[in-house]
Amino acid sequence: MKSKKGELLPEETLKVVLALIGLLILAALLFSIYNVTKRNEKFEQAEATFDYLFEQINSLSSDDEISVTVFSPSGWLLGAWPYDAGDKVIVPAVCAGLIGESCLCACPLRDENAKLSDQKFANECAVNGVCAASPKKIYLVDWLQEGELGKGRVLRDKVITINPPLHLKIDSYENNIYLQEEIN
């Protein structure tokens, strides 16, 4: 007498295995589409942020300043090059072909303590992020009482992390642009 309790024939087993493989492939495809969409969204946010920042920068006259708030892309880094590291000048490879005095880049967060003087980081940031050229020299600065750049400015060798809301002070002085993170 044959038992009818849950016996799987080889054909049925094969169908179940193929169905599971198909579901895994479908899930992987959906996950990759989601990631591409999210990445494109971050690039669009970065480009919109750059449009806004450069609109503000270009509206400044000499010896003028403005405060702006940046909300996206969250978790990205802002960097400005070229960076004079003393014995060498650091410029992301992609920025070498841009026409202008400086290159401002936003890239996905990999290392919050990244240094502008690290050539490898500069190239990685430019390749994985968004860069734009500026006709004016752009510096990321910290503010102290006495500074090497006038008006209390001191160059910083550290990126600015976009943790919304990011409040930036943009200052135009002697045809240069200084970006400083405002601490509230």
Give the tens place of pLDDT for each residue, 136-151.
888 888 875 444 555 6
Number of domains comprising the chain: 1
pTM of the predicted structure, to 2 decimals: 0.72
Tell me if 96 is assigned to some domain: yes
Alpha carbons 163 and 118: distance in angstroms, whole number: 22
Tell me if 3 is assigned to some domain: no
- Domain span at residue 105? 37-181
Alpha carbons 115 and 19: distance in angstroms, whole number: 49
Tell me if 136 is assigned to some domain: yes
Q: Is 35 exposed, middle or buried (0-12, 13-18, 19+ CB in 10 A)?
A: exposed
CA atoms within 13 A on the CB side of 138: 25
Nearest to 160 by CA among 132, 127, 182, 176: 182
Give the tens place of pLDDT for each residue, 72-104.
888 888 888 888 888 888 888 878 777 778 888
